[in-house]
């Protein structure tokens, strides 16, 4: 895989957006010193990067954004489990979109890709890791995550659809081909 200056710049831009929206632009609900729920749009840059630039770029945005975000604003001990789920936030939607093999994904395809990602990472994996690592009740965490994602998934889908229509997709297509 070859990286040129344009690809690195786009990836860096998405990483910065991920960090700012996750660490600064989110509402956190803590219970017992552990983050119980986070409401925000921090996952959107990772998902968007994966959809427009491919699974490798999406995975890099998620993982590096999580690592740098942790170093800037740690919230407890570092847990690689959450870096994995952040990387999967960029990898899964790109793989789901690739199944359809369409140049411009339809709204329902974007919804399916984003919903699949959020169900796997935010509703299943993160609550499971919080349960195994900190003993947070699995049912409550999964329920709150499902409620948050019931709002996030449609919002992420609409944002992605609007941006894909308004941004010059050709430049992202060239980047994706080179990845």
Q: What's residue 123's pLDDT? A: 96
Residues with Cβ within 8 Å of 125's Cβ and at least 6 positions away in sequence, in order, are 81, 84, 85, 88
Residue whose token pair is 């749009």: 41
Two tokens, residue 15: 């990483």
Interior angle at CA 33, CA 73 and CA 14, nearest 5: 30
Q: What CATH number does domain 5-178 carry, 1.10.10.10, 3.20.20.140, 1.20.1600.10, 1.10.1760.20?
A: 1.10.1760.20
Predicted model pTM? 0.88
pLDDT in the model for residue 174: 57
Among residues 15, 23, 51, 41, the alpha carbon closest in space to that of 163 is found at: 51
Token pair for residue 173?
């297509």
Whether the CB-CB separation of 131 and 138 falls below 8 Å is answered with yes
Question: Domain-by-domain residue ranges, the chain?
Answer: 5-178
Tokens of 108: 């329902």
7 is written with which tokens? 């690809």
pLDDT at res. 136? 82
Rounded to whole angstroms, the Cα distance separating 172 from 179 reads: 11
What is the model's pLDDT at position 14?
A: 97
| Residues in Cβ contact with 112 at an 8 Å cutoff, skipping those fewer than 6 apart | 96
Rounded-to-integer distance, Cα 21 and Cα 177, Å: 28
What number of other Cβ atoms are within 10 A of residue 70's Cβ?
19
Helix 55-72 / helix 5-19 crossing angle, nearest 10 deg: 50
Q: What string of pLDDT tens digits covers the 179 residues of the chain?
A: 577 888 899 999 999 999 999 888 777 776 666 565 667 888 999 999 999 999 999 999 999 999 999 999 887 789 999 999 999 999 999 999 999 988 789 999 999 999 999 999 999 999 999 999 988 889 988 998 999 899 999 999 999 999 998 876 555 555 556 55
**Closest by Cα among 92, 93, 84, 40 to 66:** 84
């Amino acid at each position: 895989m070859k990286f040129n200056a344009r690809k690195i710049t786009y990836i860096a831009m998405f990483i910065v957006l991920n960090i700012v929206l996750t660490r600064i632009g989110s509402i956190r609900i803590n219970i017992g010193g552990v983050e119980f729920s986070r409401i925000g749009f921090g996952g959107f840059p990772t998902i968007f990067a994966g959809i427009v630039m491919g699974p490798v770029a999406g995975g890099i945005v998620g993982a590096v954004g999580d690592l740098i975000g942790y170093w800037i604003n740690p919230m407890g001990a570092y847990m690689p489990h959450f870096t994995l789920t952040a990387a999967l936030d960029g990898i899964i939607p790109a793989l789901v979109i690739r199944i359809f093999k369409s140049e411009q994904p339809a709204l329902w395809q974007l919804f399916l890709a984003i919903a699949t990602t959020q169900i796997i990472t935010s509703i299943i994996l993160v609550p499971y890791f919080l349960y195994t690592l900190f003993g947070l009740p699995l049912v409550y965490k999964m329920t709150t995550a499902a409620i948050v994602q019931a709002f996030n998934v449609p919002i992420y889908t609409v944002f992605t659809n609007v941006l894909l229509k308004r941004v010059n997709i050709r430049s992202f297509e060239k980047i994706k081909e080179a990845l």
